[in-house]
């Protein structure tokens, strides 16, 4: 199995998925999610993800689209160390007319969530995550050309393999189809901070 030319592995492989060099389709199964403890007092590590080991310095970008999506359905990019330490960026519907573009960073078994509102008719988004050691940057784009910074975060990954890739989950609905295209690992688009 390959993701953007790299050997990859599934976390919670779905019953139905198609993986080619140009396109990844994941049929997210009902009841799947990625969350740890905070506020909701549950842990869910059931989301489907296809991830590949990331270099110490790199970027990963992808075009993500949802089809047949309902409340809370998600698809986007996952940065994964283990079940208690990971981060994700995605869109999800908050109600029938609006949705949220958000990110979750989970550290030591506790998730946080930061988001902004989006119109309900957007169903495609480009995501990019860049890694510089144990620092990471999430960026988003509507056209895959102009990216805007969304979140800088830290994961304790000195002695752990960092895997990056695509994910999809369907917490409350009957299932959802996620389509990923233009996946690519590149040298880091995010440059080291040189100070003032």
pLDDT score at 49: 98
pTM of the model: 0.95
Domain membership of residue 174 as a residue range:
2-186
How far apart are alpha carbons 142 and 148 in whole angstroms? 10
In this prediction, residue 144 carries a pLDDT of: 95
On whether residue 194 sits in a domain, the answer given is no
What total number of domains does the chain contain?
1
User: Is 18 contained in some domain?
Assistant: yes
How buried is 119 (Cβ within 10 angstroms: 0-12 exposed, 13-18 middle, 19+ buried)?
exposed
Q: What is the mean pLDDT of each run of 10 residues along the chain (196 residues)?
A: 92 96 96 94 95 97 89 94 96 83 96 91 94 96 96 90 96 93 97 82
Question: Residue 103 belongs to a domain with what CATH number?
Answer: 2.60.120.200
Distance CA 167, CA 34 (A): 10
Does some domain include residue 26?
A: yes
Domain assignment present for 176: yes
pLDDT of residue 195: 77
Query: What pLDDT is recorded for position 1?
Result: 74
Ramachandran angles phi, psi of 174, nearest 5°: -95, 5
- With beta carbons less than 8 A apart as the criterion, state whether 96 and 36 touch: no
Query: Whose structure tokens read 């960073």?
Result: 105
Q: What is the predicted pLDDT for the residue at 159?
A: 78
């Amino acid at each position: 199995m390959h993701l953007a030319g790299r050997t990859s592995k599934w976390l919670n492989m779905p019953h139905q998925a198609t993986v080619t060099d140009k396109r990844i389709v994941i049929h997210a199964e009902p009841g799947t999610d990625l969350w740890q403890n905070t506020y909701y007092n549950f842990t869910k590590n059931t989301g489907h993800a296809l991830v590949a080991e990331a270099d110490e310095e790199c970027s990963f970008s992808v075009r993500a689209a949802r089809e047949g999506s309902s409340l809370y359905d998600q698809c986007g990019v996952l940065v994964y160390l283990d079940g208690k330490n990971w981060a994700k960026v995605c869109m999800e519907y908050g109600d029938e007319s609006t949705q949220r573009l958000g990110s979750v960073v989970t550290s030591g078994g506790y998730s946080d969530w930061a988001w902004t509102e989006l119109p309900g008719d957007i169903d495609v988004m480009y995501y990019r995550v860049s890694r510089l050691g144990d620092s990471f940057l999430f960026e988003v784009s509507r056209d895959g050309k102009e990216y805007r910074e969304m979140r800088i975060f830290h994961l304790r990954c000195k002695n752990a393999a960092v895997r990056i890739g695509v994910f999809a989950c369907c917490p409350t609905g009957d299932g959802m189809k996620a389509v990923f295209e233009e996946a690519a690992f590149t040298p880091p688009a995010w440059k080291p901070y040189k100070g003032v």
